[in-house]
Amino acid sequence: MINIILKQTTGGSSDTTLGQNYDGKRGTGTEALNYGFEVGEAGVLNVSLDTRYQERDNKAGSNGYSSQYYPLADGSPDPREATASHHTYKGYGLPRSQLADVAYNLDLPLNDAVTLYSFSTLATRENNDGQNFRLPSGRNTITTGPNGFPDGYSPYWVINETDFQSAFGARGDNIGIGGWAWDLSTTYGRNYAKQRTYDNQNPSLGENTPNKFTSGIYIADELTSNLDLKNSYEIGLAKPLDVAFGFEHRRDSYETRAGSEASYIDGGYVFPAGHPRAGQRPDPGAQVTNGLTPDDAQKVSRNNVASYIDLGFYPVEQWYLGVAARYEHYNEGVGSTRSGKISSRYEFNPVFSVRGTISNGFRAPSLANEIFTARSTGFDTINGVYQSYNYVILPVDSAGAQALGAESLKPERSTNFSLGFALTPTEDLSLTVDGYVINLRDRLVLSERFQGPGVAALLDSIGVPATAGAQFFTNGASTRTSGVDVVGNYRQNLNSFGSVRWTAALNYNHTQILSVNETPSQLTALNSSYQLLGRQARALITKTSPSSKAIFSADWAIQDFNVNLRLTRYGTYTEVNSSSDPSLDREYSAKWITDLDVAYALTKQLTVAVGAQNLFDKYPDHIGVPNSSFGDNWGSYSPFGFTGGYYYTRLQYAF
C-alpha cells in the first residue's frame, strides 16, 4: 500500500531548476507551480502545474564500421569514405523528453461530519530517442528516390503519452449505526500512448517509402469504486479492538490499435539489376519498430469484485496482533483468489520492540500481459554475421504464441515472511532491522527470444510473416528472494553550529530460481537448444540488479543554510550476453556515487540552491567488448546510469 499525502495548504510556491551534465549534454529545465485557495469556510483547493524538458544525451562512440558505402565497380573505396562521419547509435544514453502535468486537490467539508473530496491529474509526455545507424551499404537502406538516404540514416522513435486520472469521494466520521467511520469513492484513469518513428524507412517499399510512420497505439483505462468502513470496540482487552472492512469493484480494459499501413506492409521491393544487392529483398515493415497490423489490434476488458476485513487488537498492553483477509473474484480467466496476513509487534519497553509478518498474496496477469504485442528491429550475431532482424512479442493466446508452446497466463502467488526489531534508545537515535523471505510461484516473465529459420518458417505458415524472432509472456519460474533492511537515524545537536541528521540505510538481497518450467515441445522440435528461459532471461531475474545497496547521508542545518550530502554504494552486478558464450558475460564492480545539495534562504520566501548528482563524475566499468553500434560501452543495466555527473541550480519562492 502507498500512502499518498495530497497538498491541502493555502498560499503558493514556485520551484525552478536548471541543470546540465558535466560534459555539456543533457540540459534540463523544470518548473513547478503550486497554489492553494480557500473554498467556503473550511475547504481548500490546491492546484499544481509541473513542466520538464530534457535534452538528448548520447554516449555512443564511433560505430566502428571501416566502410559505410559500397565499393566502386572496380573495387576501389567510394571517395565519400574520406569524409564519412561514421554516425553513432543516437539512443545510447538518455532520450529527449518533454513533460507537462496539471493537478488539483479539493477538500470540502459540508459540516462537522461529512467531507467531500476530489483530486485529478492530467499529464502529457513525449520521449524522442535515436536508434541504430543504418549503413548506406546495408540491406535495409534505400539510398535513391525522394525519401532515400544516400549517406545512411538513424531513425528516431517517439512515444507521445497522455495520462489522466480523477477521483471523487465523500468521507465521514462517527456517522451511522455504531459510530462507523466511512469513505466512499470512485476513481477513473486512462493512459493513451502513441508510438511513431521518423527519419525512417520501410525498405520493402523501395523508392516509394515514406519517412514517417505511426507504429501503433496502446490504451489502458480503469474504473474503481471503493467503500471502506472502520470502528473500534471495547472488548475487555488492554486496548480497543480495531475493525475495518470494505468492498471494491474494478473494471479494467486494454486496447492495441494498428499502425499506419506503410509501417507494417511488405511492399515486395527487390533491389534492381546493377545494384550491389541485385535480386535481394530487404526486410518488410518500418525499421526500429514494425507497425502493428489490423490482425494484431485487440481490445479486452474484465471486471473484478473484492472484499476485505482487517482486525487489530492488544492481548496485553505491549503486544499488538493484526489479522487481515481479502477475497477477489474476476469475471474471466483468473477466477477467485484469497489472501491473508498475520502481523505482530511486541514492545518489551519504550526502547526495544520486535515485529513480524506472515502473509500470502497474488498478482493477476494484467490485460497488457495477455494481449500486448510489439514488433521491433533487433541486432545480433546470426550465423556468424552481425545483422538486423525483425522480432515480435506475441500475445500469449495468439496463434503464433500457441504454435510456439505458450500457455494461458495464471496469477503469480507469493508467500512472505518478515521478522525484525526496532531500537529507540533516545528521541534522537533509532535503529530498525528487518529480514524477509519472499517465495514467488508462477513468476510472470518474458520468455527467451527465439530466433532462427525454423521459428520464421513456422510463424510465416500461420500468418505471422517476416519475423525472424519471437517471445511471449509466461509463468516461467518460481523464485525465492531473501534479504535484510537496516535503517539508522541520529540527530546530532551542534549548538551554535546547527544540527545534523545522520542516516544510514543498508539493503542486501539475493534472488534464486527454485524451478523453471519445461521448454514446450513445440520449441524443442524446432531447435533442441531452445530453452523457455535461457541464460539471459534467467540472469535478468538473478544477476542484473546489485544484491547490495547502502546509503549514508548527512543533512546539516545551520542558520539560513541547509547542506545535504548523500553517499550511495551500489554493489556488483552481472550482464549475461545473449549468446551462449559465457566468456562474453561481464561482472561490473561496486561503485560509490556522491550527491551534494547546498541551499541558502535569502529571505523567508526565497531560497536558492546549487548541487550536483554524481558529484565526482563516476561511470560504470567499460564492458570491454567493442560493439559495432556503441563502441566500447558500459552495458545496459547500470543502476546509476552511464551519463556521468550532473550539476544544477534551484530557485524556490513561497508567496
Q: How many CB atoms lie within 10 A of CB 3?
A: 4
- Mean pLDDT, to the nearest integer, of 585-594? 92
Q: Is pLDDT of 627 > 60?
A: no
Per-residue confidence (pLDDT) for residue 1, from 0 to 100: 45
Residues paired with residue 653 on neighbouring β-strands, in sequence order:
14, 606
Element (H, E) at 540: helix 535-542
Q: Of 515-519, 548-552, 560-564, 629-633, which gets the smallest average pLDDT?
A: 629-633
Q: Is pLDDT of 279 > 90?
A: yes
Cell (9 digits) for 552:
549514508
- Mean pLDDT, to the nearest integer, of 297-319? 95
pLDDT interval class at 176 (50, 70, 90): low
CA distance 513 to 523: 22
Residue located via cell numbers 473550511 = 42
Angle at 508 between CA 506 and CA 509, to 5 degrees: 150
Q: Is pLDDT of 382 > 60?
A: no
- Mean pLDDT, to the nearest integer, of 498-507? 97
Helix extents (H) in 231-350: 261-264
Q: Which of the given ranges, 137-146, 476-485, 522-531, has the highest pLDDT on average?
A: 476-485
pLDDT digits (tens, 9 = 90+) for 399-431: 999 999 999 999 999 999 999 999 999 999 999
pLDDT interval class at 579 (50, 70, 90): low
Report the sign of the C-alpha dihedral through residues 21, 552, 7, 227, in that order: positive
CA distance 52 to 26: 12
pLDDT interval class at 385 (50, 70, 90): low
Q: Is pLDDT of 598 > 50?
A: yes
pLDDT interval class at 307 (50, 70, 90): very high
Per-residue confidence (pLDDT) for residue 2, from 0 to 100: 45
Contact between residue 119 and residue 167 where contact means Cβ atoms under 8 Å apart = yes
State pTM to two decimals: 0.89
- Percent of the chain topping pLDDT 70: 93
Q: Is pLDDT of 388 > 80?
A: no
Q: Of 19-33, 575-589, 597-611, which gets the smallest average pLDDT?
A: 575-589
Q: Is pLDDT of 335 > 90?
A: no
Per-residue confidence (pLDDT) for residue 462, from 0 to 100: 86
pLDDT interval class at 626 (50, 70, 90): low
Contact between residue 633 and residue 69 where contact means Cβ atoms under 8 Å apart = no
pLDDT digits (tens, 9 = 90+) for 153-165: 989 999 999 999 9
- Mean pLDDT, to the nearest integer, of 590-611? 97
**What DSSP state is assigned to residue 111?**
S
Mean pLDDT of the chain: 90
Per-residue confidence (pLDDT) for residue 309, from 0 to 100: 97
Per-residue confidence (pLDDT) for residue 384, from 0 to 100: 54
Contact between residue 213 and residue 291 where contact means Cβ atoms under 8 Å apart = yes
pLDDT digits (tens, 9 = 90+) for 40-72: 888 999 999 999 999 988 877 666 667 788 888
**Selected residue with higher pLDDT from 537 and 481:** 481
pLDDT digits (tens, 9 = 90+) for 544-564: 999 999 999 999 999 999 999
Q: Is pLDDT of 636 > 90?
A: no
Q: By CB neighbour count within 10 A (0-12 exposed, 13-18 middle, 19+ buried), where does 92 fall?
A: buried
Q: Which long-range contacts (CB under 8 A, 24 or more apart) does 179-185 make?
A: 179/231, 180/229, 180/230, 180/231, 181/229, 181/230, 181/231, 182/227, 182/228, 182/229, 183/226, 183/227, 183/228, 183/229, 184/226, 184/227, 184/228, 185/117, 185/225, 185/226
pLDDT digits (tens, 9 = 90+) for 121-162: 999 999 999 888 888 988 889 999 999 999 999 899 999 999
Contact between residue 404 and residue 527 where contact means Cβ atoms under 8 Å apart = no
- Mean pLDDT, to the nearest integer, of 23-29? 93
CA distance 615 to 590: 17
Per-residue confidence (pLDDT) for residue 87, from 0 to 100: 65
